[in-house]
Structure 1
Amino acid sequence: MTSERLVIAMDGPSGSGKSSVAKAVAQHFGLAYLDTGAMYRALTWYCLQQQVDLTDADAVLAAAQNFPLSQGTTADVEMIEVDGVDVVEAIREPRISENVSAIASNRGVRDLLINMQRDAIKNSGYRMVAEGRDITTVVAPDADARILLTASEEVRLARRGLQLGGTQNNEQLAQQVSARDAKDSKVNNFTEAAEGVTLVDSSDLNFEETIDAVIKAVEEARQK
């Protein structure tokens, strides 16, 4: 196994498939994997458990400063614990999706989590796929490959519905995908590729084709 540096930064809106694709790409290249969105979701879960007022920015920041998170970085095994509690399933619940923007829009919280994400990349030996919403521009702008994975809103809503096993109605899906993207885009622009970032539109691609497109984009970036 090579120890050559390879950091892949991947951003994208809700339902773009970036988590599944990023895991597959990490496995292809033998890299660690970091789901930064899960960090925000886990902190949301923690704040709700601690009955923190999510409209109180200072209270949310104080909770973040004492956030007992343990997150794995292996692509094929998801491990996310908060104070020893397995929250892998809990952080995907609708109540988390409905409240996570309150956490993600807190500047102080973002600074804390960004530092944690940069530490994770460093601790991987700079061999990681990190995915989220501000990885290509803020967390790892010096990544070896930077990719914005997107798809049409219609496709993203359908994919998120399948991901949630049909448990959400159209209104709930729109709240989790479109409405959340609108809120979060006020903090970061993850709908347009910044300079040097490769856009991969998967609207007309299946899962395997999307993985292939991202791998191709990574290989091309490495040759530059």
Structure 2
Amino acid sequence: MENISIAIDGPASSGKSTVAKLLASDFNFIYVDTGAMYRAVTFLAIKHQVAFSDETALAELTKKYPITFKQSGHGQLVFVNDEEVTEAIRQPDVTAAVSEVSAHGMVREELVEAQRQLAQTGGIVMDGRDIGTTVLPQAEVKIFLVASVEERAQRRYKENQAKGIQMDFETIKEAIAKRDYLDSHREVSPLIQAEDAELVDTTGMSIEQVVTKIKGIIEAKGF
């Protein structure tokens, strides 16, 4: 059990990060937030005024500014070099552009290699949009989380309110629907369910119920 890899994929606000963090905590695994890595590159592009369409320059940013994670008493923190960007990468300007940035093959190539390095020893939970299909196709457990656009928009709206981010519900709903389309239609590593992934629809489910269901799937696999 301590050497397995758990891959959790799904669209925006399907609960991937929250579920992955809880599973990692319960199993004493390492949590790798791949979405935060793409958000960090997007943050860097905005900070250094690099065009979201400039694939080469974006890839250079990923090489120049290492992205790391550190645990704290308030949860996991995200750093670019020595700058803590945990909240900055969740701002609306980053959210609006991250799909475009993450669609670039050179950017994905750089970050996928970094993610694979983190997963080499096993005992990890990794969430994203192409973990089970591209990053960790050999993962012992693969989960594909989904939920209705309406419910995912409600989750993001409440999350933003709690963080003091002002963004109206309909705008969030439109942004999520647009991101679903972009993520599932991009040429490089599109958002699709791996053939051997277990589909879990989280609509109407609490986080605790989702975690319990996934633990049941893991146990059913003999781990």
Query: What is the TM-score normalised by the length of structure 1?
Result: 0.90
SS of the residue corresponding to residue 76 of structure 2 reads coil
Contact 1:23-1:76 at 8 Å conserved across structures: no
SS of the residue corresponding to residue 221 of structure 2 reads helix
The change in CA–CA distance for 1:73 and 1:200 in structure 2 (over 3 A counts) is: farther
- Work out the CA distance in 2 between the residues paired with 1:171 and 1:103: 24
Aligned to 1:63: 61
Shift of 1:30: 1.4
Aligned to 2:132: 136
Q: Which runs of 5+ in 2 are unaligned?
A: none
Counting matched residue pairs gives 218
Of 51-60 and 26-35, more deviation after overlay is shown by 51-60
Amino acid aligned to 1:215: K
Q: 1:155 aligns with which of 151, 156, 160?
A: 151
The change in CA–CA distance for 1:154 and 1:75 in structure 2 (over 3 A counts) is: farther
- Work out the CA distance in 2 between the residues paired with 1:185 and 1:68: 27
The change in CA–CA distance for 1:16 and 1:44 in structure 2 (over 3 A counts) is: same
1:206 lines up with 2:202 in the alignment? no
Shift of 1:129: 0.3
Amino acid aligned to 1:169: D
Aligned to 1:219: 219
* 1:12-68 per-position Cα deviation (integer Å, ceiling 9, x unaligned): 101101110111111121111011000000111111111111122222222222123
Amino acid aligned to 1:64: T
1:35 lines up with 2:38 in the alignment? no
- What is the root-mean-square deviation in Å for CA atoms of aligned residues? 1.9
Q: Which runs of 5+ in 1 are unaligned?
A: none
* 1:59-97 per-position Cα deviation (integer Å, ceiling 9, x unaligned): 222222212322237897312111211100000000000
Shift of 1:171: 3.6
Query: What is the TM-score normalised by the length of structure 2?
Result: 0.91
1:178 lines up with 2:181 in the alignment? no
Q: 1:8 aligns with which of 6, 16, 24?
A: 6
- Work out the CA distance in 1 between the residues paired with 2:74 and 2:169: 30
Identity value in percent: 33
Amino acid aligned to 1:57: E
